[in-house]
Amino acid sequence: MAPEHDGRAQPGGRDTPAGEPAPVFRPPRAPFLDVLGKLSQRRTVVLGVAGVIIFFAVWEVAHYATPAEKQRFLPSVEQVVTEIAYLFAEKNFIADVGTSLYRIYASFFAASLIAVPLGVFMGCFVKLRALISPTTGGWRYLPAASFAPLLLVWFGPTDFAKMALLFLGCFFFLVALILDNTLAVQRELIESGLTMGASRRQVVGITFRAAAPHILDSMRNMIAVAWTYLVIAEIIVATDGIGAVMMRAVRFLHVDIMMGGILVIGVLGVLTDISFRLASRALFPYLRVRR
């Protein structure tokens, strides 16, 4: 007589014997380099923290692997962090950080106030694009650092000269990026507006609103470039700012201060990036729903 079955099927087409629980199906574990994989917010944070820990661990290993007589040129993480704390506590480093933040943000947002409307107008009006695009495109290939002596001659050892260098470092790239963002707007959207009788002003408004999330992303990417020009800008008659502190450290081979300045700039840059991401989530919440 054939054995009785409870109707539950085992993987591979075999039935589960009576009285035994069905095995739980466990999906195969996704590889670390999973193409088009998805991560939870928690997993993303964990991996990000792990990456930071690995970076500092490699730094520590490199320090202790360096011969003792040369370790002063590659200080340990503890030495650099201790030096940063000393600068904030004893050398009023917070004022230098505030000065650098003012120069970065003021020059970048001045560039954005001009580059954003200019890029949108160029994307909307083909004749304006043909007139301006070759010039702005060519200026992108001129290194902003090469203008430092000229700006010093024109404006002297002033904050304006430093901020002008930061402005030049990101303005022309920002125009090109925003132009690309504008041109990427679906043509059908603009044609629909024209069909319904939209004016040129309304078409520009429609285009700007459609491109706005990508424009904010372009601004987020370009402010990172502005941070890379900070030290170069503050070399111009260095008196204050993070770059000035680093340049004074060069004279006495205080490598820990130099690396501390680099680390502080990196942290401020990451905080700036996070601020832009939060602004994007607040201004365009529908993008998260779509994803």
pLDDT tens-digit readout, 29-69: 777 777 767 777 888 888 888 999 999 999 999 998 989 88
Quick check: 266 pLDDT over 60? yes
Average pLDDT of the segment spanning 103-124: 94
Q: Give me the pLDDT at residue 173, please.
A: 92
Quick check: 6 pLDDT over 60? no
Residue 138 pLDDT class (50, 70, 90 cuts): confident
What's the CA gap between 108 and 118, in Å, rounded? 15
Average pLDDT of the segment spanning 76-104: 92
What does the pLDDT look like over 146-179, one tens digit per residue?
888 888 888 887 888 889 999 998 999 999 999 9
What's the CA gap between 49 and 244, in Å, rounded? 31
Q: Give me the pLDDT at residue 121, please.
A: 94
Q: Give me the pLDDT at residue 228, please.
A: 86
Give the Å distances, CA to CA, from 279 to 9, 257, 264, 274.
Answer: 52, 33, 23, 9
Helices 255-283, 200-228: axis angle to 10 degrees equals 160
Average pLDDT of the segment spanning 8-27: 60
Residue reference for tokens 């370009």? 222
Per mean pLDDT, which range of 25-29, 205-209, 243-247 is the poorest? 25-29
Any alpha helices (H) in the chain, and if so which ranges?
41-65, 77-90, 93-124, 126-139, 148-155, 159-183, 187-195, 200-228, 230-234, 242-251, 255-283, 285-290
Q: What percent of the chain has pLDDT over 70?
A: 90
What's the CA gap between 92 and 254, in Å, rounded? 18
Q: How crowded is residue 222: how many other Cβ atoms within 10 Å of its Cβ? A: 21
Q: Report pTM.
A: 0.80
What's the CA gap between 164 and 111, in Å, rounded? 10
Q: Which of 39-43, 85-89, 135-139 has the highest mean pLDDT?
A: 85-89
CATH code of the domain made up of 71-290: 1.10.3720.10
Mean pLDDT of the chain: 85
Q: Give me the pLDDT at residue 19, please.
A: 61
Nearest 5°: the CA angle 107, 112, 117 is: 150
Quick check: 117 pLDDT over 90? yes
What's the CA gap between 162 and 108, in Å, rounded? 12
Residue reference for tokens 């085992």? 10
Q: What percent of the chain has pLDDT over 90?
A: 42
Q: Give me the pLDDT at residue 289, please.
A: 56
Average pLDDT of the segment spanning 249-267: 90
